[in-house]
Amino acid sequence: MAEEMRTSTRDLRTLHDRVATWLSGRTGGPVEVSELSRPSANGMSSETLFFTASWAGRRPVRCVARLAPETEAVPVFPHYDLGAQFEVMRLARERAGVPAPRALWFEPDPGALGTPFFVMEREDGDVPPDVMPYTFEGWLLDAPPGRRRELQDASVGLLAALHDTPFTRDELSILLRPDPGRGGGLRAHVDAQRAYYGWAHGDHPIPLLERAFDWLEAHWPDDPGPDVLTWGDARIGNVMYQDFRPVAVLDWEMAAVGPRELDLAWMIFLHRFFQDLTEAMGLPGLPDFMRRDDVCRTYQELTGHQPANMDFHLTYAALRHGVIMARVWRRRIHFGEQAMPDDPDDLVLHRTTLERMIAH
């Protein structure tokens, strides 16, 4: 788990000069740009660059640029709508009070860096890491139980604030898909996931994931519930914390319109994924953290909405994560970091968990 995954084929020195040239054009004068760097712990999709920029005598601005990955890097997703991410971050921050990073610039022209990108202010804080997972070691594992519960409740509060904000249809038009008819946002979301699976794995099908899609159809909710703006990748590994309180909510590329339970189930399941890995290694992890009943109870207290259809949504979260992680492992295979397993179902790292979920 500790081995770093390769996520980019771009040269940082070349990017540095192109960033400096582009930013000079944006600010209308000379700009000093520090050496570029990449994060080492979290993030396996969009490419992230860190730098500090100074111009016109103002204080240095610590920046983060997000770029769509190169085709040669075996991207996780087929499309990277960076303009939509930029706008959703702005809406979350300005309308919902969610501490998304301050959005600075969006550049739709690929001429500057070879792909569209956006720049946001860089925040400071502690992030529960993915590598090694926070259930194995680190500040969250070492924290007193009361502080972990404080972090958990505050994280659920992010979802409550976002979901309870009454965005207009025009504000959400960047995320709305053509009217899916019966089923609303959930139908559109699942259909998009099935299309994504076909893009990511159509040449080498994964039978377990296909059975999971069939399970969803057989257990479709009678009432999926109202549609809201969902964060998409709603997990604590995408949050910066200071003193166990959220100060920056990151990674909005999976934002969508759909039921509230999409985010709730994702937050619960992603912890379960790490917890299962930890227990498989004979370590205790955090069994009392992000439990389903606790998360749903807190959410209901904050919003008045009682989470529904959670068996369905947790299974869907496991399926979605399986599609993504199998794509990530295909990237590792491409770069020679991992061999292709004999059984394609082994590309699903939580295979046993998902098999149990769809067994009934």
CATH code for the domain of 16: 3.30.200.20
Apex 17 CA angle, 126 and 106, nearest 5:
60
Give the pLDDT of residue 75: 82
Same domain, 179 and 72: no
Please tell me which residue in 130, 191, 214, 233 is annotated as part of the active site. Answer: 233
Position of tokens 């069994």?
287
Same domain, 117 and 199: no
Same domain, 155 and 293: yes
- The answer to whether position 131 is within a domain reads no
- Higher pLDDT, residue 329 or 162: 162
Range(s) of the domain holding residue 89: 12-121
Give the pLDDT of residue 4: 45
Give the pLDDT of residue 6: 45
Same domain, 93 and 227: no
CA distances from 67 to 19, 166, 242, 281 (A): 12, 30, 27, 35
Rounded CA-CA distance 348/97 in Å is 36
Same domain, 204 and 158: yes
Longest Cα pair distance anywhere in the chain, in angstroms? 65
For residue 317, pLDDT over 50 is answered with yes
Position of tokens 């069939």?
214
Q: What is the pLDDT of residues 81-115, one digit of tens each?
A: 999 999 999 999 999 999 999 999 999 999 999 88
Could you give the number of structural domains in the chain?
2
Same domain, 219 and 333: yes
**Mean pLDDT of the 37-64 span:** 82
**CB-count burial class (<10 Å; 0-12, 13-18, 19+) for 349:** middle
Lowest mean pLDDT among 71-75, 102-106, 141-145, 261-265: 71-75
Buried b (16+ CB within 10 A) or exposed e, 132-156: bbbbbeeebbeeeeeebbbbbbbbb
Strands 47-55 and 103-107: unpaired
H or E, element range at 247: strand 245-249
- The answer to whether position 203 is within a domain reads yes
Same domain, 334 and 275: yes
Residue 233 is a catalytic residue: yes
CB 354 within 8 A of CB 248: no
- The answer to whether position 126 is within a domain reads no
Same domain, 98 and 246: no
Give the pLDDT of residue 3: 45
Residue count of the chain: 360
- Count the neighbouring beta carbons within 10 Å of the beta carbon of residue 281: 11
Give the pLDDT of residue 2: 40
Same domain, 189 and 108: no
Same domain, 101 and 170: no
Same domain, 264 and 309: yes
Q: Which of 129, 73, 91 is nearest to 252 (CA)?
A: 91
For the chain, the average pLDDT equals: 92
Give the pLDDT of residue 5: 45
- The answer to whether position 7 is within a domain reads no
- Higher pLDDT, residue 56 or 247: 247
pTM of the entire predicted model: 0.91
Q: What's the CATH number where 331 sits?
A: 3.90.1200.10
Same domain, 278 and 198: yes
CB 266 within 8 A of CB 316: no
